[in-house]
């Protein structure tokens, strides 16, 4: 669904300190794709170690995690499992786009067309099983919990937030709201900037909070009708209705109380089972088999993984780990002071 419903939603700008002391779930695949897309060389080539393995995601993960720990944001990484069968067409389309973009990237790079190369490089981003396993290894060494979702990561987070296990979700994907995430946090970056897709241009952003309940009340609809809006403007499981944008979709779901009536009014016969997609969102697939235990980072092992295994600069890693250690020492000092008080 991307940003299709963005203009319908009220978003509250916040300071990152708002999340101080809270435990949030990170849509891990969403975050790793961001790192792979933006952390690249001048011509769009991703960061790699001496063995040719991509390390852009590990770079982003290290600094984002240290930054959140410094801000005392307790974060849990939730990873996607097996995608629903209905997502197959979307995944095949994305694979085709990435394959074509990868070829155009190599062609542009060979011709020395830097801007074009960088544009296609971002479109060609792939998150492989090896990258995911490397990310999980780094996360574990940093002492942070990992939750393996049975299906969609956003669905798992939504269930955990609703159950009171997490405060909210960190993701750029508005689909998290369709799954019922009560609080969605976006733009949680270190730099306060985000890159425009396909262009060598960055714009300033601020962290923002989206309150699902408040937005539903403001729109005068329930979550089921928000899902209907998603169905009309397109989700990962279906194509959008032609000539129907978010505002038109809102008018339709406000006017009609049955999706069949909306279909009839839109004069379009969809080629998907809307009830099945609605059920995916209304009853998110999830598991309660996880451990949200936070542990101390294993500093030497982190350094070994990044510096010795993946050729990171020793000084940069040591500086990041120094910040981490200083925060741990400070928290220990505060804990002792509170005990003495």
d(CA 149, CA 166): 15
Q: Which two tokens stand for residue 277?
A: 């997609």
List strand residue ranges (DSSP E) for 103-159, in order: 146-148
Residue 80, annotated as binding a ligand: yes
Three-class secondary structure of residue 212 per DSSP: helix
Spatial distance between the Cα atoms of 259 and 266, rounded to a whole number of angstroms: 10
27 belongs to an annotated ligand binding site = yes
Residues 6+ away with beta carbon under 8 Å from 120? 44, 101, 102, 104, 105, 108
- Has 43 been labeled as part of a binding site? no
Chain-centre distance for alpha carbon 1:
13
173 is in an annotated binding site: yes
The tokens for 7 are: 């203009």
Helix (H/G/I), strand (E/B), else coil: 185: strand
Summarize the annotated binding site for Mg(2+) as residue ranges: 27, 80, 152, 154, 173, 175, 236
Binding residues: 27, 80, 152, 154, 173, 175, 236
């Amino acid at each position: 669904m991307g940003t299709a419903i963005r203009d319908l939603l009220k978003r509250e700008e916040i300071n990152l300190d708002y999340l101080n002391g809270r435990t949030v779930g990170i849509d891990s695949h969403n975050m790793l794709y961001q790192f792979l897309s933006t952390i690249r060389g001048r011509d769009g080539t991703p960061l790699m170690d001496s063995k040719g393995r991509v390390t852009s995601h590990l770079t982003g993960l290290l600094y984002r995690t240290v930054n959140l720990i410094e801000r005392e944001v307790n974060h849990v990484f939730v990873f996607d499992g097996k995608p629903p069968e209905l997502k197959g067409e979307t995944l095949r389309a994305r694979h085709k786009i990435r394959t074509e973009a990868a070829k155009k990237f190599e062609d542009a790079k060979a011709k020395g067309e830097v801007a074009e190369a960088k544009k296609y490089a971002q479109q060609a981003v792939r998150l492989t099983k090896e990258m995911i396993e490397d990310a999980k290894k780094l996360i574990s060494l940093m002492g942070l919990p990992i939750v393996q979702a049975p299906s969609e990561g956003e669905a798992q987070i939504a269930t955990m937030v609703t159950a009171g296990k997490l405060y909210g979700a960190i993701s750029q994907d508005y689909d998290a709201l369709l799954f019922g995430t009560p609080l969605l946090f976006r733009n949680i970056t270190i730099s306060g900037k985000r890159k425009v897709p396909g262009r060598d241009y960055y714009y300033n952003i601020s962290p923002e909070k989206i309150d699902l309940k408040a937005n539903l009340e403001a729109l005068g609809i329930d979550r089921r009708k928000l899902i209907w809006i998603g169905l009309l403007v397109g989700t990962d499981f279906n194509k959008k209705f032609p000539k129907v944008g978010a505002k038109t979709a809102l008018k339709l779901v406000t006017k009609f109380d049955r999706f069949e009536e909306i279909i009839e009014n839109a004069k379009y016969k969809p080629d998907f089972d809307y009830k099945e997609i609605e059920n995916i969102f209304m009853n998110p697939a999830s598991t309660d088999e996880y451990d949200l235990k936070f542990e101390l980072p294993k500093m030497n092992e982190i350094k070994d993984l990044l510096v010795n295994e993946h050729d990171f600069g020793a000084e940069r890693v040591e500086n990041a780990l120094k910040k981490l250690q200083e925060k741990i020492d400070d928290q220990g000092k505060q804990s002792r002071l509170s005990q003495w008080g």
